[in-house]
Each structure stands twice: as structure tokens, then as C-alpha cells.
């Protein structure tokens, strides 16, 4: 049984200018000890999926359809009180994007790590702070940092503290939303190596969200490529990277600089993602696609392609494959 199973997830934002269909029909599974990478451009729906898994979609957003089953519990059927006491941070937690915005400046980092232990585990403040010291050591920081305030830490140190906060209650699943954003390449490598080590030592399942496919390649066992609210390709990481089937996936991979091989100009994807208040009825990538033949263009514009299994466990949403 998968540790996490998401089926037909739809999330809309109800704005004054119309309904933004941020996520539509997203489905995936996460096995125990597995890492799922979710990639795509900004605005593709990656972070909205992450917030949905904790039922923390910010207003005016709302989960309008779908099921989210974590360790056998369908969280869509729980009350807010049950969700807070049984699921959040105990079964699934999140390393939020932008550590500087997550940490409260007037509390020590030790207290911020210890707080869920006091509330959920009933530990005294002293016991919780001792556990916070252990968590800081686990993420490569000195135990003395429990007495420091966020402004006393570097960007990489703040990111490690936020990871320690996510691990405080030993959750089954950890979501890392852009964990290397705004960090220099040396610190990025340190954070990725830390996540690798924690996965190996703790055997935890993880969802890694990034717009950078090279970051996801470091950790992911499976990859989901998102575009304009849809998963357009999904499968084992090795197959998605070595045998990409969707034109969007191929374009993303072609935009990554290569250290080896012949020199060539980096590709880019012309145009911009569609307005999700009024998305096209067919394939949402069609206006930017350079691979669809003329005889398929009309169908691409009119009809949304289904997810098609092109090889074992490898799915793609494209009429190029449905036509075969």
C-alpha cells in the first residue's frame, strides 16, 4: 500500500477576476522510502499541490475535488481539528519555500523546533529543547544554535533549521518545496547532500518540488512534470530523463546547460503559459508546442489528451502518443 495516494485532485482560486483553475485532475502515488520530484515552470501548480497535501491551500483557494490518502487516512474526510491532531507534522510535514519567511524573528530557533513537541507530544519545554538540539545535530548544526534567533543565521543555516522543524515529529512524508531557492551553488549542494543523507538514514518518503530538473535528478526516484495545472509526464526518473516523451519535458531538458558533449545553443520555450482563468479546451501546451504535426493541431486545440502509458509506469499526456 502506498504511503501517499492522490487521485483526481482539483484546486481552484476564486478571485475577483474569475476562477483560476490552478490544479486539475492530478493523480500520483508515493511508496515508502521513495522520492517523487515535481517539476515545472513557475505557476504550473507545483506548490498548490504541496499545500493541498496538508490542506493548507491559502484563500481564496479551495480543494474542489479529489482524494488524498496518507498512510490509509483520507484527509479530505477529516475535520480541521482531527487533521491538526492526527496528520499534520505527524504523518506529513513540509519544508516551506523561503526559510527566512517561515521563521518567526522574535523566537529562538530552538523554541520554534520544540513547539510541536510540546503541543503534540506533551513534552516539557526543557525536554523539547533537548530534542531540538538532537534535531539540529541531525541537520549538521551545533546544538548551541537552540538559543539563536533567525537573524543570526545564514541562508543555508536557516534552511537547515526549517528542515529540522519538519522532522520534529518523525513524519512518514516530508515535502520540500524549492529547498534550494535563493541559495548559492555551494550551499545548494550541501542542502541536497543533507536531504540524501536523511532519506538514507531515516528511510523517509519525500516529495521534492523544483523548477530545476538538475536539482530533482539528484534525489528523485519518480518524476512528475507539471504544466498549467496538469501532470503532462510521470514515471521513473531514469526513463523521464533518458527517454522524455512529452514535448514540454524535452524542451525543459534542452534548456539545461551540458558540461560534456558538443557545444550548442541553449533552447528556450517561446511564449508563456496560458491564463488559467480561461484555459484552452485542449492541450494546454499546444500554443507553445513545436512538435505537433499540422494534421493533429486541430485535435490538440479542441480535446484534452488523456494520460497514456507509453512503457511500464511511464505516462504522458500528448496526442502524439494517443494517435499511435
Cell of 242: 533518458
Cell of 69: 490518502
- For residue 235, the model assigns a pLDDT of 96
The values of phi and psi at residue 124, to 5°, are -70, 165
Query: Alpha-carbon distance 238 to 241, whole Å?
Result: 5
Query: Could you tell me the mean pLDDT of each successive run of 10 residues in the chain, 324 residues long?
Result: 95 95 96 95 93 95 96 94 93 89 93 94 95 95 95 92 94 92 84 90 92 89 96 96 94 84 80 92 92 90 92 93 67
Query: Alpha-carbon distance 103 to 107, whole Å?
Result: 8
Nearest residue to 291 via CA among 320, 267, 315: 320
State pTM to two decimals: 0.92
Q: Is 175 helix (H, G, I), strand (E, B) or coil?
A: strand
- For residue 33, the model assigns a pLDDT of 92
The values of phi and psi at residue 289, to 5°, are -80, 135
- For residue 79, the model assigns a pLDDT of 95
- For residue 136, the model assigns a pLDDT of 95
Cell of 102: 517561515
Say what the alpha-carbon torsion angle 219, 100, 14, 208 is, to the nearest 10 degrees: 0
- For residue 323, the model assigns a pLDDT of 56
Bridge partners for 4 per DSSP? 30, 70
How buried is 263 (Cβ within 10 angstroms: 0-12 exposed, 13-18 middle, 19+ buried)? exposed
Q: Which residue has the cell 558533449?
A: 261
Say what the alpha-carbon torsion angle 184, 42, 289, 221 is, to the nearest 10 degrees: 70
Query: Alpha-carbon distance 25 to 116, whole Å?
Result: 33
Number of other CB atoms surrounding residue 277 within 10 Å: 13
CATH topology of domain 4-91+171-322: Rossmann fold (3.40.50)
- For residue 260, the model assigns a pLDDT of 78
Query: Alpha-carbon distance 276 to 273, whole Å?
Result: 9
Nearest residue to 44 via CA among 167, 225, 234, 250: 225
Q: Where are the domains of the chain?
A: 4-91+171-322
The pLDDT tens digits of the residues spanning 91-139 come to 999 998 888 888 999 999 999 999 999 999 999 999 999 999 999 999 9
- For residue 262, the model assigns a pLDDT of 79
The pLDDT tens digits of the residues spanning 4-22 come to 999 999 999 999 999 999 9
Amino acid at each position: 500500500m502506498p504511503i501517499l495516494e492522490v487521485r483526481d485532485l482539483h484546486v481552484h482560486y476564486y478571485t475577483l477576476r474569475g476562477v483560476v483553475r490552478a490544479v486539475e485532475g492530478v493523480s500520483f502515488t508515493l511508496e515508502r522510502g521513495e522520492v517523487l520530484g515535481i517539476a515545472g515552470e513557475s505557476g504550473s501548480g507545483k506548490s498548490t499541490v504541496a499545500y493541498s497535501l496538508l490542506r493548507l491551500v491559502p484563500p481564496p483557494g479551495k480543494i474542489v475535488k479529489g482524494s488524498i490518502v496518507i498512510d490509509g487516512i483520507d484527509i479530505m474526510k477529516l475535520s480541521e481539528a482531527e487533521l491538526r491532531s492526527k496528520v499534520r507534522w505527524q504523518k506529513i510535514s513540509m519544508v516551506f519555500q523561503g526559510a527566512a519567511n517561515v521563521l518567526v524573528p522574535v523566537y529562538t530557533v530552538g523554541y520554534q523546533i520544540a513547539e510541536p513537541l510540546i503541543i503534540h507530544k506533551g513534552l516539557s519545554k526543557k525536554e523539547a529543547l533537548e530534542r531540538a538540539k538532537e534535531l539540529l545535530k541531525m541537520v549538521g548544526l551545533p546544538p548551541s544554535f537552540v538559543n539563536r534567533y533567525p537573524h543570526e543565521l545564514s541562508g543555508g543555516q536557516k534552511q537547515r533549521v526549517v528542515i529540522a522543524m519538519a522532522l520534529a515529529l518523525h513524519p512518514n512524508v516530508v515535502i520540500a518545496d524549492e529547498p534550494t531557492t535563493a541559495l548559492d551553488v555551494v550551499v545548494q549542494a550541501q542542502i541536497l547532500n543533507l536531504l540524501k543523507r536523511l532519506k538514507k538514514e531515516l528511510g523517509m518518503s519525500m516529495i521534492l518540488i523544483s523548477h530545476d530538473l538538475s536539482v530533482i535528478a539528484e534525489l528523485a526516484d519518480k518524476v512528475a512534470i507539471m504544466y498549467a495545472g496538469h501532470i503532462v509526464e510521470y514515471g521513473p526518473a531514469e526513463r523521464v530523463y533518458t527517454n522524455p516523451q512529452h514535448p514540454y519535458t524535452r524542451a525543459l531538458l534542452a534548456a539545461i546547460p551540458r558540461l560534456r558533449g558538443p557545444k550548442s545553443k541553449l533552447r528556450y520555450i517561446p511564449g508563456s503559459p496560458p491564463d488559467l482563468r480561461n484555459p484552452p479546451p485542449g492541450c494546454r501546451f499546444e500554443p507553445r508546442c513545436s512538435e505537433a504535426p499540422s494534421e493533429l493541431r486541430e485535435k490538440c486545440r479542441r480535446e484534452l489528451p488523456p494520460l497514456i502509458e507509453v512503457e511500464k509506469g511511464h505516462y504522458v499526456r500528448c496526442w502524439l502518443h494517443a494517435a499511435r
